[in-house]
Amino acid sequence: MYLLTIRDGLQTRHVGPYQSPKQASDDLDRLLPLCAERARWQIYALEAPGQALQAPGHALEAPEQVRRSLVGQGVKAAA
């Protein structure tokens, strides 16, 4: 799933979700003429919460690595 975000001055619009980036791009072509010339846009790929936790190297899956990285920054490790 994809989400289109358009920032136009102080206003931010979130449009979607879309099944493909092509659909978001088509909608962007339709919406951009309604915005100011300096409007910025971005198409984000959304991920399911379960997928975020399954990502390789995720902090919840590797507590020992997190502990080691904190010790390297001068934080004392808990026993």
Write the pLDDT tens digit of every residue in 32-71.
999 999 999 999 998 877 766 666 655 555 555 545 544 5
- Please indicate, yes or no, if residue 67 is contained in any of the structural domains: no
- Please indicate, yes or no, if residue 44 is contained in any of the structural domains: yes
Element (H, E) at 63: helix 63-72
**pLDDT of res. 49:** 73
- Please indicate, yes or no, if residue 7 is contained in any of the structural domains: yes
pLDDT tier, 7 (very low <50, low <70, confident <90, very high otherwise): very high
**pLDDT of res. 61:** 52
pLDDT tier, 23 (very low <50, low <70, confident <90, very high otherwise): very high
- Please indicate, yes or no, if residue 64 is contained in any of the structural domains: no
- Number of compact structural domains in the chain: 1
- Please indicate, yes or no, if residue 12 is contained in any of the structural domains: yes
Which of 29-33, 51-55, 73-77 is the most confident on average? Answer: 29-33
Supply the range of the domain harboring residue 22. Answer: 1-48
- Please indicate, yes or no, if residue 70 is contained in any of the structural domains: no
- Please indicate, yes or no, if residue 75 is contained in any of the structural domains: no
- Please indicate, yes or no, if residue 5 is contained in any of the structural domains: yes
